[in-house]
Protein backbone atom coordinates (compact mmCIF):
# COMPACT_ATOMS: atom_id res chain seq x y z
CA UNK A 1 0.00 0.00 0.00
CA UNK A 2 2.83 2.39 0.82
CA UNK A 3 4.30 2.02 -2.68
CA UNK A 4 0.87 2.59 -4.26
CA UNK A 5 0.40 5.74 -2.19
CA UNK A 6 3.84 7.02 -3.19
CA UNK A 7 3.14 6.32 -6.86
CA UNK A 8 -0.25 8.03 -6.66
CA UNK A 9 1.33 11.03 -4.97
CA UNK A 10 3.94 11.32 -7.74
CA UNK A 11 1.18 11.17 -10.35
CA UNK A 12 -0.88 13.82 -8.56
CA UNK A 13 2.16 16.10 -8.19
CA UNK A 14 2.79 15.74 -11.92
CA UNK A 15 -0.86 16.53 -12.75
CA UNK A 16 -0.89 19.57 -10.46
CA UNK A 17 2.22 20.91 -12.19
CA UNK A 18 1.05 19.98 -15.69
CA UNK A 19 -2.30 21.73 -15.31
CA UNK A 20 -1.16 24.53 -13.00
CA UNK A 21 -3.49 23.59 -10.15
CA UNK A 22 -2.99 23.52 -6.39
CA UNK A 23 -5.45 20.66 -6.00
CA UNK A 24 -7.06 18.10 -8.26
CA UNK A 25 -10.18 15.95 -8.30
CA UNK A 26 -9.59 12.23 -7.93
CA UNK A 27 -11.95 9.37 -8.66
CA UNK A 28 -11.68 5.79 -7.45
CA UNK A 29 -13.59 2.66 -8.36
CA UNK A 30 -13.79 -0.50 -6.21
CA UNK A 31 -10.22 -1.15 -4.99
CA UNK A 32 -9.34 2.36 -6.18
CA UNK A 33 -11.74 3.78 -3.58
CA UNK A 34 -9.58 2.30 -0.85
CA UNK A 35 -6.47 3.81 -2.36
CA UNK A 36 -8.20 7.14 -2.94
CA UNK A 37 -9.59 7.50 0.58
CA UNK A 38 -6.28 6.42 2.11
CA UNK A 39 -4.47 8.97 -0.07
CA UNK A 40 -6.83 11.75 0.98
CA UNK A 41 -6.20 10.97 4.64
CA UNK A 42 -2.46 11.40 4.09
CA UNK A 43 -2.45 14.24 1.56
CA UNK A 44 -5.69 16.24 1.94
CA UNK A 45 -4.00 19.39 0.67
CA UNK A 46 -3.66 17.87 -2.82
CA UNK A 47 -7.29 16.95 -3.42
CA UNK A 48 -10.19 19.36 -3.94
CA UNK A 49 -12.86 16.69 -4.48
CA UNK A 50 -13.17 12.94 -4.39
CA UNK A 51 -15.55 10.76 -6.39
CA UNK A 52 -16.07 7.18 -5.21
CA UNK A 53 -17.68 4.63 -7.52
CA UNK A 54 -18.45 1.23 -6.05
CA UNK A 55 -17.11 2.60 -2.79
CA UNK A 56 -15.60 -0.05 -0.54
CA UNK A 57 -16.59 0.47 3.06
CA UNK A 58 -14.83 -2.46 4.66
CA UNK A 59 -12.71 -4.28 2.10
CA UNK A 60 -11.15 -6.66 4.60
CA UNK A 61 -14.49 -7.72 6.10
CA UNK A 62 -15.89 -8.65 2.69
CA UNK A 63 -12.87 -10.78 1.84
CA UNK A 64 -13.05 -12.50 5.22
CA UNK A 65 -16.73 -13.29 4.70
CA UNK A 66 -16.27 -14.71 1.20
CA UNK A 67 -13.18 -16.63 2.31
CA UNK A 68 -15.11 -18.21 5.21
CA UNK A 69 -17.96 -19.22 2.91
CA UNK A 70 -15.49 -20.71 0.42
CA UNK A 71 -13.82 -22.58 3.29
CA UNK A 72 -17.16 -24.12 4.29
CA UNK A 73 -17.69 -25.39 0.75
CA UNK A 74 -14.08 -26.61 0.44
CA UNK A 75 -14.64 -28.62 3.63
CA UNK A 76 -17.87 -30.08 2.21
CA UNK A 77 -15.93 -31.11 -0.90
CA UNK A 78 -13.05 -32.37 1.26
CA UNK A 79 -10.44 -30.40 -0.71
CA UNK A 80 -7.51 -30.57 1.74
CA UNK A 81 -5.24 -28.28 -0.31
CA UNK A 82 -7.78 -25.45 -0.53
CA UNK A 83 -8.83 -25.92 3.10
CA UNK A 84 -5.24 -25.47 4.29
CA UNK A 85 -4.68 -22.46 2.02
CA UNK A 86 -7.92 -20.73 3.02
CA UNK A 87 -7.35 -21.33 6.73
CA UNK A 88 -3.86 -19.82 6.47
CA UNK A 89 -5.06 -16.85 4.42
CA UNK A 90 -8.02 -16.12 6.69
CA UNK A 91 -5.81 -16.02 9.77
CA UNK A 92 -3.38 -13.69 8.01
CA UNK A 93 -6.14 -11.52 6.54
CA UNK A 94 -7.83 -11.08 9.93
CA UNK A 95 -4.65 -9.45 11.28
CA UNK A 96 -4.88 -6.50 8.88
CA UNK A 97 -7.58 -4.11 9.93
CA UNK A 98 -6.07 -1.03 8.34
CA UNK A 99 -5.32 -0.58 4.66
CA UNK A 100 -1.70 0.42 5.14
CA UNK A 101 -0.83 -3.05 6.46
CA UNK A 102 -3.01 -4.84 3.91
CA UNK A 103 -1.33 -7.71 2.06
CA UNK A 104 -2.77 -7.42 -1.43
CA UNK A 105 -1.38 -10.78 -2.55
CA UNK A 106 -3.28 -12.59 0.22
CA UNK A 107 -6.50 -10.82 -0.69
CA UNK A 108 -6.09 -11.79 -4.35
CA UNK A 109 -5.56 -15.42 -3.32
CA UNK A 110 -8.73 -15.34 -1.20
CA UNK A 111 -10.70 -13.83 -4.07
CA UNK A 112 -9.46 -16.49 -6.48
CA UNK A 113 -10.35 -19.31 -4.09
CA UNK A 114 -13.71 -17.72 -3.32
CA UNK A 115 -14.46 -17.51 -7.05
CA UNK A 116 -13.72 -21.22 -7.33
CA UNK A 117 -16.38 -22.08 -4.73
CA UNK A 118 -18.85 -19.20 -4.76
CA UNK A 119 -20.31 -19.27 -8.24
CA UNK A 120 -23.93 -19.09 -9.30
CA UNK A 121 -25.43 -22.05 -11.15
CA UNK A 122 -24.02 -22.33 -14.68
CA UNK A 123 -21.42 -19.63 -13.97
CA UNK A 124 -17.92 -20.16 -15.28
CA UNK A 125 -14.84 -19.11 -13.35
CA UNK A 126 -13.31 -17.99 -16.63
CA UNK A 127 -10.53 -20.59 -16.33
Q: How far apart are the first and last CA of the chain?
A: 28
Is the pLDDT at 127 greater than 50? The verdict is no
The reported pLDDT for the residue numbered 65 is 82
pLDDT band at 100 (very low <50, low <70, confident <90, very high): low
Q: Could you read off the pLDDT of 13-50 as tens digits, one per residue?
A: 999 999 999 999 999 998 899 899 999 999 999 999 99
Residues 6+ apart with CB under 8 A from 22: 16
For 126, which DSSP code?
-
Q: Which residues pair with 49 in a beta bridge?
A: 25
Q: Could you read off the pLDDT of 86-97 as tens digits, one per residue?
A: 999 888 877 765
The reported pLDDT for the residue numbered 10 is 98
Percent of the chain with pLDDT over 70: 85
Is the pLDDT at 68 greater than 80? The verdict is yes
Q: What is the pTM of this model?
A: 0.59
Break the chain into its structural domains and give their ranges.
Answer: 2-53, 59-117
Amino acid sequence: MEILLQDLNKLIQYLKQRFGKNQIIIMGHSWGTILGVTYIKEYPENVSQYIGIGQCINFNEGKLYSGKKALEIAKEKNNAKDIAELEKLLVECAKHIDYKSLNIDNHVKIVNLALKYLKADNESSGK
